[in-house]
Amino acid sequence: MKDKIKILLVEDDYNLGFVIQDKLKENGFEVHLCTDGVEGLKRFGEHTFQMCIFDVMMPKKDGFTLAKDIRKLNKNVPILFLTAKNQTEDKIEGFKAGGDDYLTKPFSTEEFLLRVQAILKRVNLVKEPEPETEVKIGSIVFDTENFFLKYPGGEKQNLTKKEARILQLLVQHTNKVLPRDIVLNSVWGQDDYFVGRSLDVFITKLRKYLKEDESVSIANIHGVGFKLTVQ
């Protein structure tokens, strides 16, 4: 049985969202529906998607901002914008934000499906393999599925779900700077002072877990984010 292509749909109009979701499901896609940009970014961090469909005008985080955040995590996943506006400036902004196509409301389901299929064909979609369940961080093995670290001597350190998710993001950006706001919005779904302090506590814990290998470090990049370095 062929694996279904997984689509992230973020649309704040609940009725329209359900109509689009049902139509995509009828055509063999697996669809995750979110109703605002913050929830959408968090969901994107929890699953592997082959395509994103974003409404532009949404509460908490608009579609363009969401697309820019997604591009910091994944430069290749195709993005289709849905909008009630038909201004050239808005289309230009959409493409600058990392979008692949732009569909103006109202639209027919036939045109919508053709756009989706055309984008997937154009990007020469190859379904990404599931992320590795074991990742090496220097001499330490990170079991991403069961949330633990395994040290060279055989000892294990169990991780909470949030610790594991933060470490996954750091590993994906090994030797690169990971923006602080992306971690906060991907893991907590919000970016404020209190969750920011929580993040700092988690980073301190992860440093402690990784100190067994002196070639591994997590640096604070002031005013920007964090950098996992593996020498």
Q: Are residues 57 and 107 in the same domain?
A: yes
Q: Are residues 94 and 22 in the same domain?
A: yes
Whether the bond into 179 is cis, omega within 30 of 0: no
pLDDT for residue 87: 65
Q: Are residues 45 and 117 in the same domain?
A: yes
Buried b (16+ CB within 10 A) or exposed e, 94-131: beebbbbbbeeeeeeeeebbebbeebbeeeeeeeeeee
For the cut 90, the answer to whether the pLDDT of residue 118 exceeds it is no
Pair 66, 41: CB distance under 8 Å: yes
CATH value at residue 211: 1.10.10.10
Instruction: List all residues 6 or more positions away from 165 whose beta carbon is below 8 Å from its beta carbon.
Output: 45, 46, 186, 187
Q: Are residues 117 and 166 in the same domain?
A: no
Which of 122, 138, 171 corresponds to the end of one domain?
A: 122
* Full residue range of the structural domain in which residue 171 is found: 160-230
Q: Are residues 118 and 12 in the same domain?
A: yes
CATH value at residue 27: 3.40.50.2300
Q: Are residues 57 and 165 in the same domain?
A: no
- How many independent structural domains does the chain possess? 2
Q: Are residues 110 and 211 in the same domain?
A: no
Rounded distance between C-alpha atoms, residue 68 and residue 80, angstroms: 13
Helix and strand numbers (H, E) in the chain are 8, 12
Average pLDDT for the chain? 87
Residue pointed to by tokens 């997937």: 120
Which of 122, 144, 170 corresponds to the end of one domain?
A: 122
Could you tell me if residue 106 is inside a domain?
A: yes
pLDDT for residue 126: 47
Task: Dump the DSSP string for 99-164.
Answer: -SEEEESS--HHHHHHHHHHHHHHTT--PPPPPPSEEEETTEEEETTTTEEE-TTS-EEE--HHHH
For the cut 70, the answer to whether the pLDDT of residue 124 exceeds it is no
For the cut 90, the answer to whether the pLDDT of residue 158 exceeds it is yes
pLDDT band for position 1 (cuts 50, 70, 90):
very low
pLDDT band for position 228 (cuts 50, 70, 90):
very high
For the sheet with 216-221, list strands across it. 177-179, 225-230, 216-221
Q: Are residues 24 and 74 in the same domain?
A: yes
Could you tell me if residue 97 is inside a domain?
A: yes
**Is the pTM value of this prediction over 0.85?**
no
Pair 87, 104: CB distance under 8 Å: no
| Average pLDDT value for residue range 22-49 | 91
Q: Are residues 23 and 86 in the same domain?
A: yes
Q: Are residues 23 and 97 in the same domain?
A: yes
For the cut 60, the answer to whether the pLDDT of residue 74 exceeds it is yes
In the chain, pLDDT over 70 holds for what percent of residues? 92
Q: Are residues 118 and 10 in the same domain?
A: yes
